[in-house]
Amino acid sequence: MARETFQRGVQMPSHVLLRGAFKWCSILFLVILLATLMPSQKVYGQGLELSLGWAHMTHDNGTNGFEAGAAWWFNRRVTLAANYDGAWDTSSLTNFSLTTVGLITVHSHIQNALIGPRIFFSTNWTTKHKLNPFGEAQFGNSWLNQKVTNPTSSVSASDNAFSWMLGGGLEYLFGGHMSGRMNLDLLRTHFAEAGQSRLRFVLGVTYTLGKRGPG
């Protein structure tokens, strides 16, 4: 079986380098800003949070996978969250199986590593029902690998680029340490020098090492 592989070249145009520099400056600014706002841990000190969940992303025939994350609670409303997710999809172009080309399959694997603030909002009603709505913005990098295969050959392509995410969700508190969380975000990637918009849905659970305070 003949195989061909394509990857982005090592040399990058100046505007891509500037975009990468802007990305890391933005991340550094967010970390410094939140660090300056960090109160004493005596104020609703919640500390480290760990999370794990199922993730779905649109685009590339729809990919499914997992999300893992960690966050640090600066106070009862503000966290700095870092997330990694990986999702896969294998789809068949069944109409081509009836032609001389044969069955064509497309395998996609996307990964995202993002960091940014997550801010929680609550009212008397949401606190009463153990709900905790939030908004989030994250910035980082994404990787996409795709492989197209037919009975006689296969072609692979991969790329990585700056990405950002904006959205929010809702959390349900099970107790002092655990919660269930749902996220819905707009994920903006920039593969192959073009922009792509994806919806990202995550359903998972979290565990906070310190006991959570009221919303």
> Of residues 200 and 27, which shows the higher confidence score?
200
Residue 44 has pLDDT above 50, yes or no: no
Q: How many domains does the structure of the chain reveal? A: 1
Q: SS3 helix, strand, coil % of the chain, rounded to 5? A: 15, 60, 25
Q: Looking at residue 6, which CATH number applies to its domain?
A: 2.40.160.20
Residue whose C-alpha is closest to residue 74's, from 107, 31, 137: 31
Average pLDDT over residues 67-71: 95
pLDDT, tens only, 118-155:
999 988 888 888 899 999 999 999 999 988 887 777 88
Q: Is a pLDDT exceeding 80 seen at residue 170?
A: yes
pLDDT at 47 (0 to 100): 84
Residue 215 forms part of a structural domain: no
What is the predicted pLDDT for the residue at 156?
86
Whether the Cβ atoms of residue 208 and residue 186 lie closer than 8 Å to each other: no
User: Does any domain span residue 128?
Assistant: yes
Task: Write the pLDDT tens digit of every residue in 70-119.
Answer: 999 988 889 999 999 999 988 876 665 556 666 778 889 999 999 999 99
Cβ contact 176:211 at 8 Å? yes
- The three-class DSSP label of residue 120 is strand
Which pLDDT value is given to residue 7?
41
What pLDDT was estimated at residue 42? 40
In a domain, 179, yes or no: yes
* Model confidence pLDDT, tens digit, residues 176-211: 789 999 999 999 999 988 889 999 999 999 999 887
Q: What is the mean pLDDT of residues 56-75?
A: 91
CA torsion through residues 165, 198, 146, 14, sign: negative
Asked if the structure places residue 129 within a domain, the reply is: yes
Give the burial class of 83: count Cβ atoms within 10 A of its Cβ; 0-12 exposed, 13-18 middle, 19 or more buried: buried
Residue 213 falls within a domain, yes or no?
Answer: no
- Alpha-carbon distance 212 to 123, whole Å? 16
Per-residue pLDDT, 211: 78
Degrees, nearest 5: CA angle 63-90-106: 110
- For residue 100, tell me if it sits in a domain: yes
Residue 168, in any domain of the structure: yes
Range of the domain at 154: 2-208
